[in-house]
Amino acid sequence: MAKVKDFNSSVVPYLLKLKQKHYWVDYDEEADTLYISFRKPQCADDSIMEDDFIYHYAGEELVGVTVLHAKTYK
């Protein structure tokens, strides 16, 4: 289990800017991939990849983000 001191509070302003009430976050260490969902299930019907980020949409609504090579963003 991560220790409290390991939490980086600098992420808080970025999470608040997304104006989401719920987040689901999963990390696959073997693939070094971070999955962030704003809706469960996402039910995305379109995805756009930009660099190491894949943005998942249901219509015009952003429902998730996949971050490839997540450890490079430390």
The tens place of each residue's pLDDT in the chain, 74 residues long, gives 555 667 778 888 988 888 788 889 999 999 999 999 999 898 999 999 999 999 999 999 999 999 999 999 87
Look at residue 72 and give its three-state secondary structure: helix
Domain that holds residue 44: 22-73
Residue 55 lies in a domain: yes
pLDDT computed for residue 16 by the predictor: 86
Which residues are CB-contacts of 8 (< 8 A; sequence separation ≥ 6)?
none
How much is the pTM? 0.81
- How many separate domains does the chain show? 1
